A = this chain, B = another copy of it.
Amino acid sequence: MAFNYPNGQSFDNRSFKQPRVSQGGSQSNRGMSLEADINAANNYYLATGQAVIHKKPTPIQIVNVSYPARSAAKITEAYFRQASTTDYNGIYKGYYIDFDAKETTHKRSFPLNNIHDHQVEHLKSIVTQHGLAFMIIRFSVLKETYVVWADLIFQYWDNKETGRKSIPYEVVVKSGELIAQGINPTTPYLTAVDKLLERREQKGDNLV
């Protein structure tokens, strides 16, 4: 059964995110198609036994539930809640992995206001626990998607009060790994993670 928004856009509850009040237009999250790509990649990785990675359900605060006779419990009042973690986690090659995926229409930089405090705090706790923490960043106009270590995000995030409020495109390109466009899956992001791991091993650092 398909549901549409009043504007005719289709409503896909599998990848539904809380609509946000625009904070100036182009900076707001537009993760719909990137999310679909990552979910497809995760299904592929699961089916082929390469990794077990799932998107967490959107947290919902349930206020009222009705229990109609002979049919499923129906939630009649509920609200979106703020998540306390990132959207994705799982296991790959024995590593705990944890990440979020962000899309921007900017071409010259990735604005930090795509990211929320709780996501950074969560990723920092994952790094402390020796998990693999990263971010998938899509420059949608450029049609380029990168994986960057969360450490790169922290560098800019921790200096954003006094420094710049975005990560330059060139830094993402240099520090991150481009996800090569694939057929199935279209966005084989673990291949890019593999390359980042190789670089980390070779150079002994987390960022470049």
Contacts and interface: CB of A to CB of B under 8 A. Distances in A.
Interface string A67-84: 100001111111110011
Interface in A13-48: 13, 16, 18-19, 46
Interface string A41-57: 00000100101101011
A16 to B, nearest CB: 6
Contact of A131 (B54, B77, B91): B91
Interface string A93-128: 111101000000000000000000000001001101
Interface residues of A, number: 49
A60 B63 CA distance: 13
The listed residue with most B CB atoms (<10 A of its CB), out of A49, A62, A91, is: A91
Given A49-B128, A57-B56, A126-B52, A77 B75 contact: yes
The listed residue with most B CB atoms (<10 A of its CB), out of A57, A85, A126, is: A57
Copies in the complex: 2
A94 B130 contact: yes
A29 to B, nearest CB: 15
A92 interface: yes
B92 A89 contact: no
A206 interface: no
A61 interface: yes
Contacts of A131: 52, 91, 94, 96
Nearest to A75: B78
- What 4 pairs between A and B have smallest CB-CB spacing? A91-B96, A96-B96, A75-B78, A57-B59
8 contacts: A13-B62, A16-B62, A52-B125, A56-B56, A56-B57, A57-B57, A57-B59, A60-B62
